[in-house]
Amino acid sequence: MKILLTLLCTIARGSSLSLSDCGGDARRPQMNDIAVECGTTYIGLAIQICPVIYTGYNETLLILNHMTDSECLATLDESASPPVARFQFPLNSTHACGSTFLTTSSAGTGVFSDFSNIQTVNVSGIVRSVDLTSGTITYNAELKYYYSCAYPLEYLINNTQIDVSASSIAIQDNNGSFLSTLTMELFRDAAYAEPLVIPQLGLELRTDIYVEVKATNLTGQYHVLLDRCYASISPVPSNSSFFNLFVPCAQDQLTTMVQNGESQSARFHFPAFRFIEQQNQTMSTYYLHCITRLCETSTCATFKQCNNRRKKREVLDVTQPYTITSPMLITKTESSESKEETPEGGEGGPGDDSAVGLGVAVGVLALACAVAFCVAAIFYKKLRN
């Protein structure tokens, strides 16, 4: 009864379009009459209105999930071609105009094959026509428009350039963009307040690098959980050396996890290092990558348990399109002071052996030159006599 009274009040304003205004767009409804926009903070629906008018309805008689709240009703957009009835509602499980939120789990594939539980949230619902015809029969067909948006909860953040303060990307899925925008930021202080700026000559080794991965425009029911972060020499680490800062159930002894899976940001820090294979280069350059999960607040603790994760494979396959990129991380391979220092103690290192060998060679060469000079002088004297 409440829905009927609301509709009667709404229909009083009627539609500004009639069947004669539709021209060639006046036809029977088809399967592709609805367009769905899976946005980062909202879902938008656009239903062609002329087939609706042709069937005997208008935008005021299209009801989203039986909801008659003003923010859930359709608005007519005559500027579109053809004209459409638009619905727009927020991605919020507590108020999404009656939409159904369903979380499903499946084994990971590709870059996520290390994980046995990858979650996806599906947001779905239906727009129905309401027939106000009184009596036993009606000549109007019932209209139903189904919508669905799937949002993955696991993706790879590939932060390959780290001398900028931040970068972000809206994650895209087959059904639309993910409901949040992720950013990875690098800081130089434990308060995560001062952005990390890499000097022209690179960072000093053992400089603390503070990393924060944060989700914005995200409903309160999800937290950010880092599954794995690692560094590699190449932006695409499938064919290069890599070093794990942390993996499921293990981490490097110098990596410190500050918070993970407890809020809408995750934080950790590690000291700057270099790759040994770049020891002959002036600077060591490498890239940081993170595999990130959005978990429901009630299940984040579950994903931290080792028995819910797969053992990491020896070879990493990174063909994942969900990436985020920023400038490379650069460290000094050695400082100028270290070149001038001599090892402590009585024993010399490899540098000392090289110096001794060079001294002997120079001495032998000098002796040979002296002998040759004397012999030449004797022969010269005899020739003159």
- The mean pLDDT values, 10 residues at a time, for the chain of 385 residues are 50 68 89 87 91 92 93 94 93 85 70 60 90 80 89 60 32 46 86 91 89 81 85 74 82 89 92 85 84 82 65 33 50 56 40 50 65 66 61
> Is residue 76 assigned to a domain?
yes
Q: What is the pLDDT of residue 200?
A: 84
What is the structure's pLDDT at 163? 31
Same domain for 174 and 128? no
Distance CA 191, CA 171 (A): 28
Is 64 part of a structural domain of the chain?
yes
In a domain, 303, yes or no: yes
| pLDDT, position 76 | 95
| CATH number, domain with residue 138 | 2.60.40.3210
Instruction: Tell me the residue range of the domain where 94 lies.
Output: 2-99+123-150
User: Same structural domain for residues 308 and 170?
Assistant: yes
Could you tell me if residue 81 is inside a domain? yes
